[in-house]
Structure 1
Amino acid sequence: MCSLSHEQARALRSRAQGIGGGVRYGSAAEVVERVLAVQAQDVRAAALGIRARADGLTAADVRRALEEDRTIVRAWFLRGTLHTVPSADLPWLLGLLGPHFLRLGARRYRELGLDENLCDRAEAILVKALGDHGPATRAELTEHLARIGVAPRGQAPFHLIRRAALRGLVCHGPERDGEATFVLLTDWLPSRKDGPRGEAAETELARRYLRAHAPASPEDFASWSGLPMTAARRAWRALGAAGHLTFCHIADEASTLPTEHVPEMDLTPSAAPDVRLLPAYDDYLVGYCSRALSVPAAHERQVWPGGGQIRPAVVADGLARGTWTSRTSSTDTDVSLFAPDSEEAAALAKGIATESADVARFLGSPR
């Protein structure tokens, strides 16, 4: 069994995520295929997360991949939350995750007064509206739902739209005047292959998770995916039996590496820190059940202030060194480091300046 220091584990994780070791990808589709899922409740943050892992992309490139090439797609997946995933992976991801989160959501439907009959009628209304009229905003779909007695205010319309997405009927389509729209999945992505099912899908999800997050544990996978620990352990057993796993320790914590990642343990770190400006809710910050390796304990509240927020982070070689902000109406970035000494600040300064300029370029206003 191998043993990793915290620095080695961070180096492996940051390289696997495309945010360290000089690793960058050439297109939005390549980034999303590598990490599998980019958290996307906030469309701007999701695009900036793709930027942080790519070389030379613009926001227009990301939108083109979503709306014209349709190589990536936005819907509800891991933990039942919005993510951008490769379009080719959508069928098996929904086949695995959709039923699980629908079961978990059943109680909430009842609390909202959404019995099975009303849910089925709402589904038929949504499908007909999108089939007849094409892309529609949440507000427009809410008007259609109101005609069958769904209260337009409150959470019921959202949960009915999300239910239809988890059932593989709708997904996000093109933006209209800065607002998201929904489309029929069969219209948006007419050619789809099913992919793995059942336990094979669990195993494939675990394999893809480890490729982008290792070293990691079954507990990390369960936290990231929202699947139960029984599924996580079952997937680990399947990967181990096939010879795909190497077990290791990070300090005193048990962890796992894909066997093909083991040669990377001896990579020499670069002389200058690899700095990335990660957006709010970035996958690197939510991909594990513990934050110990990614954020210094003394500064955890500066990244996770509470209330479900996760702030944009300045990350160097996989370790958060500060936070940053970018106003929606501006491309300027304001960086706040975690009380660094002058030597550390000087080492980070060039990388921060380069990343800040790239954020501006990405959003369309090079300085």
Structure 2
Amino acid sequence: MATKDPGLPRPEPAAPGPAPTDRRPGREAGGAAEVVGWFGAVQSQDYHPAKWSVAQRLGPGVTDVDLDRAFDDGVILRTHVLRPTWHFVAPADLRWLLELTAPRVHVLNGYAYRRGELYGPLLRRATDLVADAVAGANHLTRAELAASLARHGVVAERFRLGYILIHAELEGVICSGPLRGKQHTYALLDERVPRAASLEREAALAELVRRFFTSHGPATAKDLAWWSSLTLADIATGLRLAGDALERLDVDGVTYWSAPGEAPAPAGCPSVRLLQAYDEYIVGYRQSKHLLDLGGLVAAAPDRLALPNGVIVVDTQVAGRWRRTVRAGAVVLEAALYRPFGAAETAALRVAADELGMFLGARAVISASLL
């Protein structure tokens, strides 16, 4: 069975909205919504590395500054959806994704709500206060929202503040606003995202199931359950409704789903990708994650917890770890390899490092070592 390719997506991606299309994701920062929509959503609790994940699917020439600008302009948004963490979401998808998955995320947040003594009436009042504070394009930082809540007698600090804001996001009241320097702001969702027709629940299930297995396949229902927080019963319904849009493959008693069509033929030269730790190629899987390490290199690596958390992938297999350090005019790439690289792989690592340097507007310097 072919493993997943972290590079440019296959043909026949999904459009940013619910309707399918045969367009490929865009190749400039303005196409960021198409890349994010093709995946369904892109995990982004670590904002800067998450931009690198999007840029890798857009192609060469897109810079970190370009994606900041696209984010400020609302081309992609950032909110809590699917799981109790931030994701980039295309504006056209945000509402129906929230309607489908927010109830499940609220359940997962239940312990945290209780721990913070954040019960129904208080959460509803705090959400209303947050909405009033950011209305009229009055984009506010977390600290400013905490101060606003405090003025109304709501204690909102650290952990408690975080879950008040997560609740407001899941309720479809707020989402990301533009950056203010290096600080993130919140905006009223209704002012950031045009009103759109909702999807019926079954249609939303079919759409999310189709998008996940098209962009992440081959993958399993348990992979999708992890990624989306949906129940296996909901996923079974979505698979039934997706119909011929997906195909199944049974291997060693495990069923894998993907979009129809042959896996891309391997390139003549090795391909090296520098993936951030929460790239969809890494975090989108639980049951089938072993397909990234068919050679057992990760399992055999010493002192795994002390390694950099970026992942080096050669073709479809994990082959090392990496981290970046940005200095004046240069980005130093520290690469810890699980096995020796040949000449062609070393050259491909140089290309990948140069792509990272171009994205950051800095000269790339490689410091490689063998574990």
In the superposition, the TM-score normalised over structure 2's length comes to 0.85
Match of 2:233 in 1: 230
Is contact 2:273-2:312 (8 Å) kept?
Answer: yes
Residue 325 of structure 1 pairs with residue 312 of structure 2: no
Distance 1:301 1:145 in 2: 50
What amino acid does structure 1 have at the position aligned with 2:310?
P
Matches within 5 A, 1:97-136: 97-131=101-135, 134-136=138-140
Distance 1:176 1:203 in 2: 38
Match of 2:160 in 1: 156
Identity %: 30
Higher helix residue share: 1
Is contact 2:320-2:335 (8 Å) kept?
Answer: yes
Distance 2:88 2:136 in 1: 26
Distance 1:238 1:64 in 2: 38
Residues 195 and 346 (structure 1), Cα distance of their counterparts in 2 relative to 1, 3 Å cut: farther
What amino acid does structure 1 have at the position aligned with 2:65?
A
Matches within 5 A, 1:174-253: 174-189=178-193, 191-239=194-242, 242-250=243-251, 253=254
Distance 1:339 1:321 in 2: 7
Match of 2:14 in 1: none
Residues 195 and 124 (structure 1), Cα distance of their counterparts in 2 relative to 1, 3 Å cut: closer
Match of 1:278 in 2: 275
Could you list the per-position Cα deviations for residues 111-130 of structure 1 after superposition, in whole angstroms to 9, with x for gaps in the alignment? 21112221122112111111
Could you list the per-position Cα deviations for residues 232-285 of structure 1 after superposition, in whole angstroms to 9, with x for gaps in the alignment? 12212222xx323322134553212223xx2x24x4321111211111211110
Q: What is the aligned counterpart of 1:67 among 61, 72, 75? A: 72
Q: CA deviation at 1:133?
A: 6.9
Distance 1:222 1:332 in 2: 37
Match of 2:16 in 1: none
Distance 1:357 1:143 in 2: 44
The total of aligned residue pairs comes to 344
Distance 2:303 2:178 in 1: 31
Is contact 2:42-2:87 (8 Å) kept?
Answer: yes
Distance 2:303 2:123 in 1: 36
Which runs of 5 or more residues in structure 1 are unaligned? none
The DSSP-based 3-state class of the residue aligned with 2:78 is: strand
What amino acid does structure 1 have at the position aligned with 2:333?
T
Residues 162 and 280 (structure 1), Cα distance of their counterparts in 2 relative to 1, 3 Å cut: same
Match of 2:34 in 1: 30
Higher relative contact order (CA 8 A, sep 6+): 1
Distance 2:331 2:154 in 1: 40
Quote the RMSD (CA, aligned, Å).
Answer: 2.6
Could you list the per-position Cα deviations for residues 269-305 of structure 1 after superposition, in whole angstroms to 9, with x for gaps in the alignment? 2111121111121111011113211135341486995
Distance 2:150 2:47 in 1: 27
In the superposition, the TM-score normalised over structure 1's length comes to 0.86
Distance 1:125 1:302 in 2: 50
Q: CA deviation at 1:132?
A: 5.6
The DSSP-based 3-state class of the residue aligned with 2:331 is: coil
